[in-house]
């Protein structure tokens, strides 16, 4: 979400909060996918994820009139959604249907939006790296110090790394634009 | 997907009604307080219910309508409080008895409320805003003017409407 889209959402959310129903559609098309993505991630593997996603979305719109236009809209929306998830996950945890309450999934001090962006990026990176060959993966892993460097000259390693990065960039651009 | 959107829309409207109805926190105590000076409590209850319904509906509609409810309540507080102060200052016309001198303070309350509404309406807001805000202020003022008789209440309402109209016309000129 770029700065312009954020400003648009803030403005539409402020209009909706003041009772302008014509802003509903514009808020819905942005809020619904974001809330559903966050909920599916936080309740991954739970059969209740869809229900909780819907409940969280309804809660966001139920509280829309309370939105403070001075605050950015997306963190406010995802804050409500993550609270709903937290409550749902606590229930599931008590019933032993999930392995951890939500507190261990989101780092302290990290907003739900930051967590969602980081999780999305991680998934996109995994997907892009899945398209690379084993030698490219080994080279990238060695450059990050995750595995020992292969027994080749520095110049060759740098060349391999450059090619691996080029291929990764090409895959990334093809997948994410 | 469409079903979810409809449900979200319904949730929004439900939340909006709850948000609008929170005005009861201000209106209900004012109506109850007015009952202490009321000679016809039924009138106060009916006018108070009307005020609650009107302000809730205006806030639910949002935008300028919501602002009209809030400004109407704020301005109407003068029309509401001035008549309450008449018995407090030891004047002869306690609620239920009219000696003719209570007309002045009620009209002054109406003029003051009208000035506030007219100024806030200015040239930017429409006639609907002025009428809605004046209606809310008038209903609020009527709660404490009613014990002094219909003529006093009409005087307050007339002063309110005339002042709002004059200020709004002047702002547009």
- Provide ipTM, 2 decimals: 0.78
Residue numbers of chain B with a pLDDT score lower than 50: none
Inter-chain CB proximity A58 and B7 less than 8 Å:
yes
Q: How high is the pLDDT of residue B98?
A: 54
Q: What is the overall mean pLDDT for chain A?
A: 82
Contacts of B63 in chain A (CB under 8 A): 18-20
- Domain of A60, in residue numbers: 3-108
Inter-chain CB proximity A62 and B14 less than 8 Å:
yes
Inter-chain CB proximity B4 and A32 less than 8 Å:
yes
Q: How high is the pLDDT of residue B1?
A: 62
- The domain locations on chain B are 2-172
The residue among A64, A65, A66 with the most chain B CBs within 10 A of its CB, best to mutate, is A65
* CB proximity under 8 Å: A 6-65 to B: 16, 18-21, 24, 28, 32, 54, 57-65
pLDDT band, residue A133 (cuts 50/70/90): confident
* Residue A46 within any structural domain of the chain: yes
Among A61, A78, A55, A53, which Cα is nearest to A27's? Answer: A61
Among A58, A52, A148, A38, which Cα is nearest to A92's? Answer: A52
Q: How high is the pLDDT of residue A125?
A: 76
Give the residue-averaged pLDDT of A115-131.
Answer: 75
Q: How high is the pLDDT of residue B136?
A: 94
**Is B5 or A151 the better-scoring residue by pLDDT?**
B5
pTM over 0.80: no
Q: Find, in chain B, the residue whose alpha carbon is nearest to that of A25.
A: B5
Residue A92, C-beta contacts closer than 8 angstroms, at least 6 positions apart? A43, A46, A48, A98
Q: How high is the pLDDT of residue A104?
A: 46
* pLDDT tens-place string over residues A2-61: 778 888 999 999 999 999 999 999 999 999 998 888 888 877 767 778 888 899 899 999
* Residue A82 within any structural domain of the chain: yes
pLDDT of A101 > 80? The answer is: no
* Residue A172 within any structural domain of the chain: no
Counting the structural domains of chain A, the total is 1
* Residue A142 within any structural domain of the chain: no
Pick from A18, A54, A61: which is nearest to B12 by CB? A61
Q: How high is the pLDDT of residue B48?
A: 94
pLDDT of A96 > 70? The answer is: no
Pick from B8, B59, B60: which is nearest to A57 by CB? B8
- The CATH number given to whatever domain includes residue A93 is 1.10.1740.10
Length of chain A: 177
Query: Do A48 and A92 contact (CB within 8 A), yes or no?
Result: yes
Inter-chain CB proximity A62 and B15 less than 8 Å:
yes
Residue A39, C-beta contacts closer than 8 angstroms, at least 6 positions apart? A49, A52, A53, A56, A81, A84, A85
* pLDDT tens-place string over residues B51-64: 999 999 999 999 88
């Amino acid at each position: 979400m770029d700065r312009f889209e954020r400003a648009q959402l803030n403005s539409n959310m402020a209009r909706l909060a003041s009772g302008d129903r014509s802003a509903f559609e514009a808020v819905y098309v942005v809020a619904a996918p974001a809330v559903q993505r966050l909920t599916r991630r936080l309740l991954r593997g739970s059969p209740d994820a869809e229900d909780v996603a819907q409940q969280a979305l309804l809660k966001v719109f139920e509280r829309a009139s309370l939105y403070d236009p001075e605050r950015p809209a997306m963190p406010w929306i995802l804050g409500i959604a993550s609270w709903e998830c937290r409550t749902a996950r606590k229930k599931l945890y008590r019933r032993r249907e999930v392995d951890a309450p939500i507190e261990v999934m989101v780092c302290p001090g990290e907003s739900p939006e930051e967590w969602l962006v980081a999780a999305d990026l991680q998934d996109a990176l995994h997907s892009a790296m899945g398209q690379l060959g084993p030698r490219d993966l080994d080279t990238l892993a060695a450059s990050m110090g995750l595995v020992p460097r292969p027994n080749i000259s520095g110049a060759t390693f740098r060349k391999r790394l450059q090619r691996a990065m080029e291929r990764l960039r090409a895959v990334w651009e093809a997948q994410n634009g | 997907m469409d079903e979810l959107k409809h449900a979200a829309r319904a949730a929004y409207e439900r939340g909006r009604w709850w948000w609008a109805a929170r005005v009861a926190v201000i209106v209900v105590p004012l109506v109850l307080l007015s009952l202490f000076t009321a000679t016809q409590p039924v009138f106060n209850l009916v006018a108070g219910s009307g005020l609650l319904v009107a302000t809730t509906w205006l806030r639910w509609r949002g935008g300028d309508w919501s602002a009209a409810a809030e400004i109407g309540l704020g301005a109407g507080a003068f029309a509401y409080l001035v008549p309450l102060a008449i018995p407090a200052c030891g004047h002869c016309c306690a609620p239920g008895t009219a000696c003719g001198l209570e007309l002045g303070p009620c009209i002054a309350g109406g003029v003051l409320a009208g000035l506030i509404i007219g100024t806030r309406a200015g040239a930017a807001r429409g006639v609907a805003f002025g009428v809605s805000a004046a209606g809310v202020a008038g209903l609020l003022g009527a709660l404490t003017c009613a014990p002094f008789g219909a003529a006093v209440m009409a005087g307050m309402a007339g002063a309110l409407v005339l002042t709002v109209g004059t200020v709004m016309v002047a702002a547009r000129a």
